[in-house]
Amino acid sequence: MQIRTLKDALSFGDLPAVERIGFILFITFCFIFPWIIKGGFAQAVMIQFLIFCLYGLGWNLIGGYGGQVALGQAKNVGMSAYTVALLMVRWNIPFWVCTPLGVIVATIESFVLGYFLFRLRGHYFAIATIAVSLVWQQLFINWNFIGGARGIELPLRETPNFIYMQFDSPVYYHYFAFVLVMIAILYMNWFRKSRLGYQLRAITANEDVAESLGINAHWVKVKAYCITGIFAGMGGAFYTVYYSYIDPFSVMHLELSIMIALMTMIGGAGSMWGPIIGAMILIPLDRYLGAWLGGRGILGVDFMIYALMVMIISAYEPRGIWGIIEKARRKR
Amino acid sequence: MLKVEKIEVRYSGVPVIHDVSFHVNGGELVSIVGANGSGKTTLLKTVAGTLHPAKGSIEFEDEDISTSSTVNIVRKGITYVPEERRIFGPLSVEENLKLGAYIVDDREEIEKNLDYVYSLFPILKARQKQLGETLSGGEQQMLATGRGLMSSPKLLMLDEPSLGLMPKLVDEMLEAVATLKEEGKTILLVEQKVREALEMADRGYVLQTGRTIYKGTGEELLETDIVKKAFLGL
């Protein structure tokens, strides 16, 4: 059983050659990136890209394969980030102990929320996740114990420290994030062939029929939502040590949730590579454009360009960029 | 095997099935016929657990299932093949079928059932890698029926398998149902092709505006005035 799982995760044999080559190029690019590009800003964007890949791959599970528009990823990111930050600041607990705890908190939140909210379907579910996100956001902004709107700052340590994940060069963070993304990709590769994967796709295609085959749709959705929470939790924990500073606006905000969902949809929800493509396009666009235009005092234009892209893609191909690629491939 | 006793089913409080009773014995093919809106599909949905009766009881193998969820009812061995061939469009034929075996844990049994479905509907084997939504109407109906068989159900409920098919395919579809009956499967069939449905049935029920107006063996029902006049146009 275990060997089979491992084989499923590691085998990309059923994908077309083009996709496999693309994947290898992606790995190579991520691997050599810190050696060829030395610019601090570029490296920061790259790491953000990797974090968003992780978020997107996780969201793709419930939002793409599961077809549930859950707009509350930021909650899970924030829960985990805050757990890690609090434990590290107040009790000086090592990162490697905090992270599992943070992920567990994020997962429990997903489970409880999913259990109740998945009684709702479609738009109502989306609205409910937004509502809950807003509640958490306000709560975290006004909660003094965790720093309120000021956020939490991790103490700087004098020497680079592996136990607390504090390094003097972004290269270490880059590789750590890269490993997380690789684990996520392997997981997704297993997932799309797994029982849970088929269950979710069946529910997306037709929930009633799926139930008539004995699939407990509610339970399957809750499970998928929890796994999404784990991905977000990992990202949140990493975010905390990478920036050494978190506040409710960076990790708990609804804007982050929407960004994750949009990114995946633009890339192509419900496909293996969609979230990565989405992140690859949107993150650099967002950061560079924001920095470039913001530096010239033109605020908000980057959001307009962003919105325009969303509109064009959703009008032309609702299945995102990956949908366009697949269409082109079929025509040939 | 299945015993439905005086059930009343309501949509938002309005009763649409009044006081209906019927039963299916093991190995039987029972047909429920009736005009549009007579409550045939509602009846099947109630047995499948999508709807629940407001009054009366439903027993399957001497166990009350009138309040069970769909999932539990499927696990007990009742499979419902919904009308209008609702298949999973974005999944391939084989994936559709394998999902039908969702409650089966035994790989060998799944393979056996898969072979069985392919032998019953050879066209599905030829199309096994194709996406469900690219199949023709008749093939989709075969796929939906085959998917229903994948879980080795004790009772198979077919909701209008001939709906919207061309005449040649209607015959093929109904022949497949007859084959299933000969192999000893227990089937509850809802059909608008009244003559065919009653000819091959062991017993039948005629439904009108949510009430059973006639019951009897297939031949008996074909002889009654109401069936002749209302459905066969004799």
Give me B169's structure tokens. Answer: 């395919």
Higher-pLDDT residue of A10, B188 = B188
Closest approach of A217 to chain B, Cα-based (Å):
9
Contact, A152 vs A86, CB < 8 A?
yes
Q: Is the dihedral of CA A283, A288, A293, A299 positive or negative?
A: positive
- In the predicted structure, residue B48 carries a pLDDT above the cut 90: no
Strands B63-64 and B78-81: unpaired
- Annotated domain spans of chain B: 1-77+154-234, 85-153
Which of B89, B90, B102 faces A215 most closely, judged by CB atoms? B102
Name the DSSP class of A151. -
Pair of tokens at residue A244: 């050494």
> pLDDT of B146-172, one tens digit each?
888 888 888 888 888 888 788 888 888
Measured in whole angstroms, the distance separating CA B80 from the mean position of its chain's CA atoms is 6
pLDDT at A1: 61
Higher pLDDT, B102 or A180: A180
- pLDDT at position B234 is 64
Which amino acid is present at B121?
A: F
Contact in structure between B43 and B32 (CB atoms under 8 Å): yes
Tell me if A308 is assigned to some domain: no
List the single residue in A with minimal CA-CA distance to B48. Answer: A212
Rounded-to-integer distance, Cα B138 and Cα B165, Å? 6
Of the candidates B101, B102, B103, B105, the residue with the CA atom closest to the CA atom of residue B115: B101
Residue A13, token pair as written in the block: 């044999």
| Confidence label for A327 from pLDDT (cuts 50, 70 and 90) | confident
Closest CA to A270 of A129, A127, A59, A114: A59
How many whole angstroms separate alpha carbon B197 and alpha carbon B30? 9
Whether residue A303 has pLDDT greater than 80: no
- pTM, two decimal places: 0.82
Which residues pair with residue B23 across a beta bridge?
Answer: B3
Mean predicted lDDT score pLDDT of chain A = 87
Bridge partners (DSSP) of residue B15 are B10
pLDDT band at A332 (very low <50, low <70, confident <90, very high): low
Spatial separation of the C-alpha atoms in residues A135 and A131, rounded to whole Å = 6
Residue A29's H or E segment, with its range, is helix A17-36
Mutate to test the interface with B, among A195, A209, A271, A330 (most CBs of B within 10 A): A209
Q: What dihedral angle (degrees, nearest 10) is formed by the CA atoms of B131, B135, B141, B145?
A: -30
The mean per-residue pLDDT over the stretch B87-103 comes to 85
Indicate the average pLDDT of chain B: 84
Q: What pLDDT is stored for residue A100 in this prediction?
A: 93
Q: Decide if A172 is inside a domain.
A: yes
Of the pLDDT bands very low, low, confident and very high (cuts 50, 70, 90), residue B111 is confident
Question: What's the whole-number mean pLDDT along residues A304-310?
Answer: 78
The percentage of residues in chain B with a pLDDT greater than 90, rounded to a whole number, is 0
pLDDT digits 0-9 by tens, A253-302:
888 888 888 888 888 888 889 999 989 888 888 888 877 877 777 777 77
Residue matched to tokens 């090592």 = A94
CATH of the domain at A114: 1.10.3470
Residue A280 lies inside a defined structural domain of this protein: no
Per-residue pLDDT reduced to its tens digit, A174-229? 999 999 999 999 999 898 888 888 889 888 888 888 888 888 889 999 999 999 99
Averaged pLDDT, A36-61: 89
The band of A77, judged by pLDDT with boundaries at 50, 70 and 90, is: very high
Average pLDDT over residues A303-331: 80
In chain A, the percentage of residues whose pLDDT exceeds 90 is 30
Helix A170-191, helix A2-10: angle, nearest 10: 110
Is some CB atom of chain B closer than 8 A to the CB atom of A1? Answer: no
Residue pointed to by tokens 């691997």: A31
Q: How far lies A196's CA from each of A188, A308, B142, B207, in Å? A: 11, 35, 25, 41
- CB count within 10 Å of CB B179 equals 11
CB contact under 8 A, A209 and B71: no
Instruction: Say yes or no: ipTM exceeds 0.90.
Output: no
Conformation bin of residue A174: beta by default, left when phi > 0, alpha when psi is -120 to 50: alpha
3-state helix, strand, coil in chain A (%, to 5): 75, 0, 20
Contact A215 B71 (CB under 8 A): yes
Terminal-to-terminal C-alpha distance of chain A: 39
**Least CA distance to A200: which residue of chain B?**
B99
Residues B225 and B233: beta-carbon distance below 8 Å: no
Residue where the block lists tokens 């749709």 = A217
In whole angstroms, give the CA distance from residue B138 to residue B126: 14
Q: How confident is the model at residue A25 (pLDDT cuts 50, 70, 90)?
A: very high
Looking at the domain that runs over B1-77+154-234, which CATH code has it been given?
3.40.50.300
Identity of the amino acid at A328: A
Per the structure, the complete domain to which residue A61 belongs is given by: 2-254
Are the CB atoms for A230 and A103 separated by under 8 Å?
A: yes
Q: What is the pLDDT of residue A237?
A: 92
Q: A165 and A95 in contact (C-beta within 8 Å)?
A: yes
> Given B80, B99, B103, which is nearest A198 (Cβ)?
B99
**Distance separating alpha carbons of residues A42 and B66, to the nearest angstrom:** 63
How many domains does chain A divide into? 1
E strands of A35-141, at which residues?
none
Residue B48 contacts residue B208 (beta carbons within 8 Å): no
**Inter-chain Cβ pairs, chain A and chain B, closer than 8 A:** 58
Q: Residue A106 above 90 pLDDT?
A: yes
- Measured between CB atoms, which of A198, A210, A213 is closest to B95? A198
User: For residue A146, what pLDDT band results from cuts at 50, 70 and 90?
Assistant: confident
For residue A296, the SS3 value is: coil
